[in-house]
A and B are shown apart, each in its own frame.
Chain A
Amino acid sequence: MTVVSVYFFWAKVWWYPPAINDLGKEIDSQFVRTFLITGIVFVAAQLGLAYAIFKFRDRGQKATYFEGNNTMEIVWTLATIVLFVGLGLYARNAWAEVHFMGASPGALQIEVTGQQFVWNFRYAGPDGKFGREKPELVSASTGNPVGLDPTDPASKDDIVSPTIAVPAGREVELIIRSQDVTHSFFVRELRLKQDAVPGMEIHMHFTANDPGDYEIVCSQLCGLGHYRMHSILTVMSETDFEKWMKDQEAANQ
């Protein structure tokens, strides 16, 4: 009877898309490990339950009397500790890679700003420096969504774009922030998600390998337009990226 439930796991029609970075592949292999372990436990537990229900149904027999078994308790306690905690420790590497280690010094820095209900991406421009921003200068309607301060020379060449382009094979460091409420930056193919928290600047880094367009969505409830807070990450070759950057700079003049 409970066997019914077991069937549901075998269809694999809707699955995660292939990863485009090494970290993503590492996460996927940890996912597969976890999936195998939980899958086996799931099938064993449900079938065990079904078997016991079938075997010991009331056929007029007398129930056997026993109150427990300490050896078995100790064995399965230890077994689950080893299995679950081991799995947890095993997962450390992928986590450490994103979060314990910072980006290398040569990484391309891009500032990501979330606001109801758009993403904005800022590149430092040719001078390699982010200019000053002031909250009171923020004005999405007049084309200054992040509040660049024109009196700061470093902000003159800053490029602000509603989509993000990154060169393939080069490390990118994101500086994630929010102007108003909490948002969350999520790219499926990078296996990365990070809340954008007002008042905080959160750093994340990745190296994307495969050129293409990937969707960015918001995954932290941010208000009534949450579902349409959406942008595109374009991974392009180094030469295409330089050309894209030039076009942006030209448009910025």
Chain B
Amino acid sequence: MVTHENGGGHGQHQPPSGFIRKYIFSVDHKVIGIQYLCLALFSVFLGMGLSALMRLHLAWPTTHWFFFTGGLMTPEQYLALVTMHGTIMIFMVLTTAPQSGFGNYFLPIQIGAADMAFPVINMMSFWTTFVSLMVMVAAFFVAGGAPIGGWTSYPPLSALGEITGPGQGAGETLWIVGLAIFCAASLMGALNFITTLIDLRAKGMTLGRLPLTCWTWLVTAILGLLAFGVLLAACILLLLDRIAGTSFFIPGGLVITDQVITWHKGGSPLLWQHLFWFFGHPEVYIAILPGMGVASHLLSTFSRKPVFGYRAMVGAVCGIGFLGFCVWGHHMFVSGMSPYSAFAFSILTMTIGVPSAIKTFNWLGTIWGGKIQFNCAMLFALGFVSLFVSGGLSGLFLAQPSLDLYLHDTYFVIAHFHLIMGVAAIFGMFAGMYFWFPKMFGRFLNEGIGKVHFWITFIGVYCIFMPMHFLGLAGHPRRYFDASAVTFLQKLQPVHVFITYAAFITIAVQFLFLFNVIWSLFAGKEAKEENPWHATTLEWSIPSPPPHDNFGGLEPIVYHGPYEFSVPGAADDFIPQHLAPNLVRKA
């Protein structure tokens, strides 16, 4: 082990000895990080299972399957799948794994801290998230089933109870309560991340020496702090509309299946949309920013080159974070909102393409002239860049209100956001998993299985989502249980069948990944070295897996920037951040 100089640290800590304190209600950020990753892993397979059922139905709507009552899926079952797939994937996977999972584990280590600033709050935020998942999943098992209002849950459909459809009764209530609990958990997490990063950086870890992963975790936490508070408020108002007879989102004079709603008046359905998307758009960046951080980190490490334009990268991350709060209206071009503000939102949205493009150029600049090593982690990071470009460019269509008039709420939108915030973000997580697994568990994931996993997933997701652009161009609306009621949709059926085959193959390969994880935990190649990738950041200066308090009671001192690869005059092609200048071997 590299010995860290003691920069005025505190004594060594021992982990708690009891099983429950050590593994269940642990306050160790590493255990909590792994707990979050397990929660996300469970959720991602659940969410994927729901999407598999949807794809099965969309491809062969009239085929009987033994697992549906009566052999066929009902419209309310389909919409429940739509709602729960979206909710679980966005909140329980895309929000938890990259930030609360990897961030929890590696942010304190990368900045040289022994733990998060508030370990107990950290534990609470995990267990609150766990309760939230349980409450949401419970919606499947109540009378009426899970809600059918989509993950956006627009009122009045979501505000009036069972009268608007099955699943809108107890299921919808559980959904809202679950989401509100999740908001509370995320607020605690965000506060913890920001405080940790600002207060607990080791000596010498200036902001300019922060790894880009930490920058993205910081900006994501700030976004979370500002966005989840608004969603929490919106959820509470919606809940009051449902159970306390208030009318925040419900206008007067509604008639539902010939029944006049007399007890509500004066509310505005658009208010919910504003509140929801004020959260919802930053949420996209909450999902994708950590992926950008991991991609930048890995492209640099495995090209053996510094990140191209570090300052520009930091600026772009902050720019995306800031602009992310100014563009929510582009989800509402056809909502009846003022057309003038729609136009302003449109221009702001086009502007957000600029920092995104800067990042892409800088990624290309980072690998340009490098010495690229193709391990699984790097392949997924490169795949991330490719998917980010593909998913980002379709945003230029949707950002223009006149084009959005046609494309809004069609499969084009599904293709766009799945590529960019779904699959690209998940590629960022896979990259992080292959990269950090040896540090977390002391064993490597199997590279051979990993490469099969990468290639089939990479080609598979393009085969799933590229054709969806064409469905959207043909005008196929989202959230349609059955396309046979509309003439122009009938000829699109072969596309649905193709997508379903591609989805099933891609899903099957994810089980290979699961197998790889479980097998490698026990029988993977051992990571004997502390720094098998010859990386520079602090997590590679301590044993794998790291001891309870990360640095053995010492406080590391940082002397270098995060990406000093192939520095002229140095013997090795990497200079770890903690290596004192006099210890750097000269060429």
User: Do A and B assemble together?
Assistant: yes
Contact flags (1/0) for A40-83 with B, using CB distance below 8 Å? 01100110110011001111011111111100110011001100
Interchain CB contact under 8 A, A181 and B399: no
Interchain CB contact under 8 A, B166 and A224: yes
Q: Is B49 in the interface zone, CB < 8 Å from A?
A: no
Q: Provided the pairs A53-B382, A115-B255, A217-B477 are in contact, do residues A27 and B403 lie with their beta carbons within 8 angstroms?
A: yes
- In the bound complex, residues from chain A placing their C-beta under 8 Å from that of B471 are 14
Contact flags (1/0) for A208-228 with B, using CB distance below 8 Å? 000000010111111111111
Interchain CB contact under 8 A, B364 and A226: no
Q: Is B50 in the interface zone, CB < 8 Å from A?
A: no
Stretch in contact with the other chain, from A120-128, A161-169, A187-195, A241-249: A187-195
A-B contact pairs, 5 of them (CB 8 A): A65-B568, A72-B361, A91-B346, A181-B256, A215-B486
Report the Cα distance A218→B357, complex, angstroms. Answer: 35
Closest to A44 in B: B389
Interchain CB contact under 8 A, B479 and A198: no
- In the bound complex, residues from chain B placing their C-beta under 8 Å from that of A85 are 347, 350-351
Q: Is B553 in the interface zone, CB < 8 Å from A?
A: no
Q: Is A30 in the interface zone, CB < 8 Å from B?
A: yes
Q: Provided the pairs A100-B340, A221-B79 are in contact, do residues A197 and B269 lie with their beta carbons within 8 angstroms?
A: yes
Q: How large is the interface on A (under 10, 10 to 19, 20 to 34, 35 or more residues)?
A: 35 or more
Q: Is B38 in the interface zone, CB < 8 Å from A?
A: no
Report the Cα distance A64→B366, complex, angstroms. Answer: 10
Contact flags (1/0) for A93-118 with B, using CB distance below 8 Å? 11110111000000000000001100
Q: Is A184 in the interface zone, CB < 8 Å from B?
A: yes
Closest to A189 in B: B475
Q: Is A252 in the interface zone, CB < 8 Å from B?
A: no
**Least Cβ–Cβ distance between A213 and chain B, in angstroms:** 9
Query: With A38-B396, A56-B303, A181-B160 given, can you name 12 additional A-B contacts, CB distance below 8 Å?
Result: A30-B402, A46-B389, A63-B369, A64-B370, A66-B306, A72-B365, A73-B309, A181-B157, A182-B157, A193-B406, A221-B148, A224-B481
Interchain CB contact under 8 A, A56 and B386: no
Q: Provided the pairs A15-B470, A186-B477 are in contact, do residues A80 and B343 lie with their beta carbons within 8 angstroms?
A: no
- In the bound complex, residues from chain B placing their C-beta under 8 Å from that of A88 are 346-347, 349-350, 399-400
Q: Provided the pairs A8-B466, A45-B389 are in contact, do residues A198 and B488 lie with their beta carbons within 8 angstroms?
A: no
Closest to B354 in A: A80
Chain B residues in the interface with A (C-beta under 8 A): 74-76, 79, 148-150, 154, 156-157, 160, 164-166, 250-258, 260, 267-270, 303-312, 334-336, 339-340, 342-343, 346-347, 349-351, 353-354, 357-358, 360-362, 364-365, 367-374, 382, 385-386, 389-390, 393-394, 396-397, 399-403, 405-406, 408-410, 459, 462, 466-467, 470-471, 473-475, 477-483, 485-488, 492, 495, 565-568, 573
Closest to A5 in B: B462
Q: Provided the pairs A34-B400, A56-B372 are in contact, do residues A48 and B364 lie with their beta carbons within 8 angstroms?
A: yes
Interchain CB contact under 8 A, B254 and A179: yes
Q: Provided the pairs A65-B306, A226-B480, A227-B481 are in contact, do residues A180 and B255 lie with their beta carbons within 8 angstroms?
A: yes
Interchain CB contact under 8 A, A42 and B372: no
Interchain CB contact under 8 A, B303 and A27: no
**Least Cβ–Cβ distance between A74 and chain B, in angstroms:** 9
Report the Cα distance A98→B408, complex, angstroms. Answer: 16
Instruction: Name the one of B250, B353, B397, B459 contacting A31, with C-beta atoms under 8 angstroms.
Output: B397
Closest to A142 in B: B258
Interchain CB contact under 8 A, A179 and B255: yes
**Least Cβ–Cβ distance between A210 and chain B, in angstroms:** 16
Closest to B83 in A: A221
Q: Provided the pairs A67-B306, A88-B346 are in contact, do residues A198 and B374 lie with their beta carbons within 8 angstroms?
A: no
- In the bound complex, residues from chain A placing their C-beta under 8 Å from that of B565 are 63, 65
